[in-house]
Structure 1
């Protein structure tokens, strides 16, 4: 079985497959709709061979559909007919959960993805649990995402941003009672001198997670997805 993986982000949509492991990037941003995403993906992958599709979505999902509109993209994602438009069986998963799934090694792990926004997920003794921590209040009336998402990095500068990332990691790891933290997302590479329990995610984590999604007999439309 060959799988196409679509990782939807606020800056780019990354697309890879079982045969094409290095992802191609399709620019997204605040004007990107679900319809445009589907059209762009089909054009970009013309000639590719795949039987199934995994979609990592920047928001909560259930029953292989989004539950809420994304914060950094255009509206129109909730009711879009994905399977009809893309033409293959589809499994949806929160994008952070997909990255966590790809980077999981064992134990109780918290994933934080610092990209355009802030993604979060936890794997608790082999069970994948999507989280929505980005818009919870943090400091001075602002959210976690406003401090360590892209806007926070650009407005506050690298050093202050790094300090906030470490503080938020410590707070959330303690709250979730996790053994380790996997730090991913496009801006994770800016972090230096991470403590031993914080692992820097690989660029391949999201793709690996999307491929692994079809290895499990349970669909990811429940509260949790048990790994083999």
Structure 2
């Protein structure tokens, strides 16, 4: 059985696991540690070392993929949403290769989730344009056309009303921060998804992130022309996608 390790770095937690690449499923328990306050590169690297030690894969030769909440281009992080500004223009892939003493693949977290859902989940064999969004600390997005990833979309940073980034208004963190009911939050999601539906005319929306486990509380409240479904791998999508890309 071909396996790889996936690490998913988020604004609040860092999760990791071993992935069965043939089936796109978890081949180990998922381990998680809180994202260090401030999320500086060195502190995040230390936390990743901790999860790899917990998984008992520190000396393993399994491929390793790391998903991160930033624009990632040729190994460099070009943005920093919900993490330290030190990541902007930072050679993250090389930093992790040196710090972990091994080859890795470094990728945007929502793009990793999109790959997982395209290969092994809700977007598998879907023709045309699939837009995956991850609802969490922010809003991540992935564009997939006929199963091929178009990397580094940032729909969560669309300017919206008085907000510099729509994620400040419509992410899961906004629902929790403002103690919104599912109905009140769904009204915000309706505005967000209607807007991107008009801009891109997708064939399918896939909704990931931890809140996708409660999809029945809010997805039925949305009125869209485009079908919208929860991610099959839910909060494991980033781990599975990062591992899949490393396995390539």
User: Fold-level match, TM-score > 0.5?
Assistant: yes
Q: Distance in 2 between matches of 1:4 and 1:35?
A: 20
Contact 2:168 2:174 (8 Å CA) reproduced: yes
Matches within 5 A, 1:1-228: 2-18=3-19, 20-28=27-35, 30-46=37-53, 47-48=56-57, 49-68=60-79, 70-77=80-87, 78-80=90-92, 81-104=95-118, 105=124, 106-107=126-127, 108-129=129-150, 130-153=152-175, 154-155=177-178, 157-158=180-181, 159-188=183-212, 189=214, 190-193=217-220, 197-201=227-231, 202-216=234-248
Change (3 A) 1:121 1:16: same
Residue ranges of structure 2 left out of the alignment (5+ in a row): 21-26, 119-123
Q: Distance in 1 between matches of 2:44 and 2:153?
A: 24
Residue ranges of structure 1 left out of the alignment (5+ in a row): 217-228
Q: Distance in 2 between matches of 1:121 and 1:192?
A: 19
Greater strand fraction, Structure 1 or Structure 2: 1
Contact 2:130 2:206 (8 Å CA) reproduced: yes
Contact 1:110 1:173 (8 Å CA) reproduced: no
* Runs of 4+, deviation exceeding 4 Å: none
Q: Distance in 2 between matches of 1:111 and 1:76?
A: 27
Give the total of aligned pairs: 215
Q: CA RMSD in A?
A: 2.2
Q: Who is 2:23 aligned against?
A: none
Greater helix fraction, Structure 1 or Structure 2: 2
How far 1:29 moved relative to its partner? 5.1
How far 1:176 moved relative to its partner? 1.5
